[in-house]
Structures are given as structure tokens and as C-alpha cells.
Homo-oligomer: A and B are copies of this chain.
Amino acid sequence: MAEAPSRPESRYGTRPTMKDVAARAQVGLKTVSRVVNGEPGVTADTVQRVQEAIAALGFRRNDSARLLRKGRTASIGLVLEDLADPFYGPMSRAVEETARAHGTLLIHGSSAALPERERELVLALCARRVDGLIVVPAGDDHRYLEPEMAAGLATVFVDRPPGRIDADAVLTANFAGARAGVAHLIAHGHRRIAFVGDRPGIHTAAERLRGYHAAMAEAGLAVDASWVALGPTGPDRVGPAVRALLEGPDPVTALFTANNRITVTAVRVLAGRGLPVALVGFDDFELADVVSPAVTVVAQDAAELGRAAARLLFGRLEGTARAPERLELPTRLIVRGSGETPPS
């Protein structure tokens, strides 16, 4: 009876291993390892023999095995809501850039804003033993990460704070930014200002709404409940909501739209109407300067959000333990025209 070696069916045919190289070069396994890693203590002659064998066999070191032995994976995980959202592009890019500088690969996952999927993805990444994790939270309870972090997993939350655990976080000054944006509208004479925002369960949405209320209160303006429209950010909801705000018996004269998707839908609706309505949006977006009127926005720096998070993460990976840190990045009001339209 022939013996049946326990080689499981492999994805990648049969790739040569160091053992194969060693056999071919008539050399010990460890010597091959030394050559591959450029370690000293191998004669030029041996190096050449090994390198010839490597070339002949088309050997490439298996980093998965290597990193298992080394006890780290040289990879970090990034979990966000949706890669297709233009807000996350520059953020991912910045994280990736920093990772690259640290010789680290980036594993990517989109939660589609579903807490369950966020959890699933994060735990899958933990199982892979990523060295660190950057998360844009979808859920509001991250206690499931406690054992992982206790075991040494570095984690940084971005854009929204972690829920029910203490951890590093990099946030935008949502409250202050929204307040400034609304105050800008007030300064240009508006009194009846609507707030079109995301579901209030989302931290950023709640903070921006708080900023709106603060600005109104500071100006001594009462807020009519009908001026605040919260809900999903798809055009299906936002389009009708904006139209309703403008078509009532006593319409608002200005809109504060609380994120880029909402702003873009509002711009579409406004473009289809004659009357000029003032508009300030949270988040900058491409072509904000080209539509007419150009859109005044409270801009946040998505790339800097990613860079800061990555910096924090690698700091934690390289340094010693320290207390969780919370960074808040300022926003920038970009005046372009739509926010300076006087009330009609």
C-alpha cells in the first residue's frame, strides 16, 4: 500500500520551499534561510549556489509562514462603512500610505453601516492576528473587543467614538463645526434655518445636530420642530424632505445639510428651482466650487483623519502602553457663495 502524505489540496500548486532549495543547492535548510534574509555568515560561494537554486526553482519565501514564526503579521485592518463613499477614499489612502511606510499591509473591510457586519469583520481580522485595527464604528457597543485589546491588539477608532469601551479615537470637531456653519447662516441674516441630517443614533449626526441647536440658541432663535429632518441619507428620503422644508406655508430660508450625501441631494433639488435658498453643508465635495451657486461648506479633512489614526496606531504598536487618547480635528469653513445668499 502506498503511503498517503497528508498534503492538503493546495491553492497554489506546489510551490518550492526552502527545503527544496536546500536539497537542490546541497545545503542545509537554515543556510537557505540565511541567504534569503541576507544574514551574515555565509561564504560568497555558498550564497551563489543557493541563489542559483532559488532562481532555478522560482522560489519565493512564504511570508505567512515567516510571520507565524515571528509572532506578528505585519498587517493592519481597516474597517469602514463603505469604500465607495468618496469621504472614505482619501482616508483609506492616508492609512495605506502610513502603513506602507511601516512595511505593513492593509486589509480592508466595509461594514455597510451594519453593526453585526462590523463585528464579524473585526473579529475575522482579529482571528488573522492583524497587528492593529482602525475602525469607523457602525455599532455602538464595542465590548466584544475587550478580550482582544486586553491581549494586546492596538485599536484606533476614527470619525466616531467607540461604544462602551475606552480606546484611542480620532474625531472631527462635529459640534463646533456645525455650530460655526449655522452661525454663518445666522450672520447672513437667516432666522428660519433647517437642519437636514442623518439618523440621530449616529454619533457624528447627533453632534452636528447639537451644534445646530447651540448656534440657534446662542442667537436667541427658537427652533421649530418641523425644521429638523433626520433619517437615512439616500436621495429617496432627503429629496422629499428638502422639498417639504421649502414648500410649506412658512418655508425656511436656509438649509444646513449635515453630510456630503445630503448636501449633494439638496444641491440637486435646489438646482431644479428658481428661488435662491441659502445652503451650508457639512463635508466638502468635488465640484462644490463649480455648481451654481458654489456651495459653502464646513470641511473636514478626511485624509488627516486617516493619517492621525494611523500615526496613533503605529505609535501604540511601537511604543509602550499609554492611556487611550482622543484627538479632535478642527473643521474649516469654506465660503463659496451658497451660504451668503440673503434670506428671501
Most chain B CB within 10 A, of A84, A106, A264, is at A84
Check B151 against A124 for contact (C-beta < 8 Å): no
Most chain B CB within 10 A, of A12, A62, A72, A268, is at A12
Task: Tell me the A residues contacting B by CB distance below 8 Å.
Answer: 7-15, 58, 60-65, 67-73, 75, 82-86, 88-90, 92-93, 96-97, 100, 105-110, 123-129, 131, 147-148, 150-153, 264, 267-268, 271, 285-287, 289-292, 303, 317
Nearest B residue to A61 via CB reads B127
Check B84 against A12 for contact (C-beta < 8 Å): no
Contact of A83 among B13, B96, B151, B267 (CB under 8 A): B96
Most chain B CB within 10 A, of A67, A271, A290, is at A290
Check A93 against B86 for contact (C-beta < 8 Å): no
Contact of A105 among B93, B96, B107, B264 (CB under 8 A): B107
Check B129 against A63 for contact (C-beta < 8 Å): yes
User: Besides A11-B73, A68-B68, 6 other CB < 8 A contacts?
Assistant: A10-B72, A12-B72, A58-B147, A84-B89, A97-B110, A292-B292
Q: A107-B106, A151-B15 are in contact. Are A271 and B290 (CB under 8 A)?
A: yes
Residues of B close to A82: CB separation below 8 A: 93
Contact of A268 among B8, B14, B289 (CB under 8 A): B289
